[in-house]
């Protein structure tokens, strides 16, 4: 058994360390070997950003000790990727976290028919009711419901599942001891009592805009499938759907009005045959009932009035002061000065290792035009489709690339001594 201090040290190295922990462990084998390695060895880590490699040179274990103390006082359990209770579904991901923080009773996820329900924070009444009904009906039939903890679809799905008497998991983009949004304290407590709160961020970590798209890979990775209920085409929900597709998970979508901006995301997934159209919970159940006959309990659906009665008084969130567009992307609140950030410049002439090769190749291609589809980027870069999709997802998470109508554009300026051939 590896020393837990070294696991915590590894999990806190640099920005979004969990995204690259699996690659570091693949190279060194254990956190101890990574910790005691000569710094020159870090240069050989493939696909790991320079900032993370540099952070590995910091051998201070005081943060790890502080985290251990906090977890003990707060009743938070720490799971490493070598622990038997660590979900294998997550451990198998290329971007698997090396540490999970857990509060509550973590179900044996690998043995469960787990389905994520995600969608807009600024959800319409239709979206809230649809999410609540899906959560309720899936839970009644034995599905483990997974979501975030945001207002709107996330909260409605979890509340519905709780009222259906099911198990739930909420994956957070902050420390488990940080209630975000603050008016969801009761929801946090209910989820911890009926299932588990989990996070890859240590106690005390505040919410940040960059955390939520990264968190979304865990929501997808824990589940057999992801159900999208409302979301714009550039929303965090669609990033979760992309993670699911990349990870080989199923994607489902609740259709909405052709005139509703929040329905463009799920409607687009259906139109592109990336998601199965879902009208009720049975459309999801039928995909897994033969695989999980001992877990799923097909039951007569509740009548509409009975379902309405159970879902009555779903908690409404307070009015939000920020524009819905920022909330919809899964970002934490920001100051007015942050609303219009300066265009990021990445100078590969000064720092050749600022980007992994695949990401650099995509940004080079995106510098040449107004927008490329994923297929066009495969042709332009010569990279395999899987590597292109993976790099695009990470670039979106890092807010370096934007997508609209399936075409990608760069949000950064790439500088090099030698310009690539046109």
Residue partners of 233: CB distance under 8 A and separation at least 6: 264, 265, 268, 403, 404, 405
* CATH code of 394's domain: 1.10.10.10
Q: What is the pLDDT of residue 315?
A: 54
CA distance 393 to 244: 11
CA R_g for the chain: 21
* H-helix segments, 164-229: 185-194, 211-221
Residue 87, domain member (yes or no) = no
Do 201 and 302 sit in the same domain of this protein? yes
Do 114 and 192 sit in the same domain of this protein? yes
Q: What is the pLDDT of residue 2?
A: 55
Do 289 and 366 sit in the same domain of this protein? no
Residue 88, domain member (yes or no) = no
Q: Is the dihedral of CA 207, 160, 268, 242 positive or negative?
A: positive
Do 191 and 275 sit in the same domain of this protein? yes
Do 298 and 368 sit in the same domain of this protein? no
Q: What is the count of structural domains for the chain?
A: 3
Residue 94, domain member (yes or no) = no
Burial class (CB in 10 A: 0-12, 13-18, 19+), 59: exposed
Do 324 and 360 sit in the same domain of this protein? no
- Of the candidates 232, 275, 230, 234, the one whose C-alpha atom is nearest the C-alpha of residue 404 is 234
CA distance 219 to 97: 12
DSSP 342: P
Domain that holds residue 291: 105-328
- Of the candidates 92, 103, 168, the one whose C-alpha atom is nearest the C-alpha of residue 132 is 168
- pTM of the full structure: 0.79
Distance separating the N- and C-terminal Cα atoms of the chain: 53
Q: Is residue 256 within 8 Å of 267, Cβ to Cβ? A: yes
Residue 96, domain member (yes or no) = no
Q: What is the pLDDT of residue 58?
A: 93
Burial class (CB in 10 A: 0-12, 13-18, 19+), 367: middle
Residue 334, domain member (yes or no) = no
| Per-residue CA distances from 53 to 37, 187, 213, 263 (Å) | 12, 38, 22, 41
* CATH code of 286's domain: 3.40.50.450
Do 264 and 165 sit in the same domain of this protein? yes
Residue 336, domain member (yes or no) = no
Burial class (CB in 10 A: 0-12, 13-18, 19+), 170: buried
Q: What is the pLDDT along the chain (422 residues), one digit of tens a residue?
A: 458 999 999 999 976 768 889 999 999 999 999 999 999 999 889 888 888 999 999 999 999 999 999 999 999 999 999 999 999 999 999 899 999 999 999 999 999 999 999 999 999 999 999 999 999 999 999 999 999 999 999 999 999 999 999 999 999 999 999 999 988 999 999 999 999 999 999 999 999 888 888 899 999 999 999 999 999 988 889 999 999 999 999 999 999 999 999 999 999 999 999 999 999 999 999 999 999 999 998 777 777 777 777 776 665 444 443 333 343 344 444 333 333 344 578 877 776 666 777 888 888 888 887 788 888 888 888 888 767 877 787 787 666 888 777 788 888 888 876 444 44
| Per-residue CA distances from 75 to 24, 176, 306 (Å) | 29, 10, 38
The position carrying tokens 């070598």 is 82
Q: Is residue 153 within 8 Å of 118, Cβ to Cβ? A: yes
Q: Is residue 219 within 8 Å of 118, Cβ to Cβ? A: yes
């Amino acid at each position: 058994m590896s020393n837990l201090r070294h696991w915590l040290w590894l999990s806190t190295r640099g920005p979004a360390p969990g995204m690259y922990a699996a690659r570091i462990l693949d190279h060194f084998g254990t956190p101890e070997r990574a910790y005691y390695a000569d710094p020159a060895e870090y240069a050989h880590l493939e696909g790991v950003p320079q900032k993370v490699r540099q952070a590995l040179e910091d051998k201070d274990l005081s943060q790890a000790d502080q985290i251990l103390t906090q977890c003990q006082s707060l009743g938070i359990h720490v799971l490493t990727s070598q622990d038997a209770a660590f979900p294998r579904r997550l451990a198998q991901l290329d971007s698997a976290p090396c540490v999970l923080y857990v509060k509550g009773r973590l179900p044996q996820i690998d043995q469960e028919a787990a389905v994520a329900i995600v969608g807009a924070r600024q959800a319409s009444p239709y979206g809230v009711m649809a999410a609540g009904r899906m959560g309720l009906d899936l839970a009644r039939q034995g599905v483990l419901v997974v979501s975030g903890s945001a207002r709107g679809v996330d909260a409605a799905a979890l509340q519905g599942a709780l009222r259906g008497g099911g198990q739930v998991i909420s994956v957070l983009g902050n420390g488990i001891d940080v209630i975000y949004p603050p008016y969801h304290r009761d929801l946090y407590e209910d989820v911890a009592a009926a299932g588990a709160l989990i996070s890859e961020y240590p106690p005390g970590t505040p919410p940040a805009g960059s955390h939520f798209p990264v968190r979304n890979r865990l929501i997808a990775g824990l589940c057999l499938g992801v159900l999208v209920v409302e979301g714009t085409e550039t929303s965090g929900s669609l990033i979760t759907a992309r993670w699911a597709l990349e990870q080989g998970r199923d994607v489902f979508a609740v259709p909405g009005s052709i005139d509703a901006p929040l329905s463009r995301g799920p409607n687009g997934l259906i139109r592109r045959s990336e998601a199965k159209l879902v009208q009720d919970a049975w459309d999801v159940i039928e995909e897994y009932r033969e695989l999980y006959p001992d877990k799923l309990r097909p039951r007569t659906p509740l009548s509409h009035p009975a379902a309405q009665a159970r879902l009555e008084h779903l908690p409404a969130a307070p009015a939000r002061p920020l524009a819905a567009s920022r909330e919809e992307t899964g970002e934490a609140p920001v100051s007015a000065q942050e609303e219009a950030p300066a265009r990021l410049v990445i100078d590969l002439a000064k720092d050749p290792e600022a980007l992994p090769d695949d990401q650099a190749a995509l940004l080079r291609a995106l510098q040449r035009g107004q927008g490329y589809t994923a297929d066009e980027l495969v042709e332009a870069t010569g990279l395999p489709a899987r590597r292109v999709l993976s790099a695009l997802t990470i670039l979106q998470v890092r807010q370096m690339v934007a997508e609209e109508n399936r075409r990608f554009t760069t949000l950064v300026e790439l500088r090099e001594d030698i310009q690539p051939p046109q």
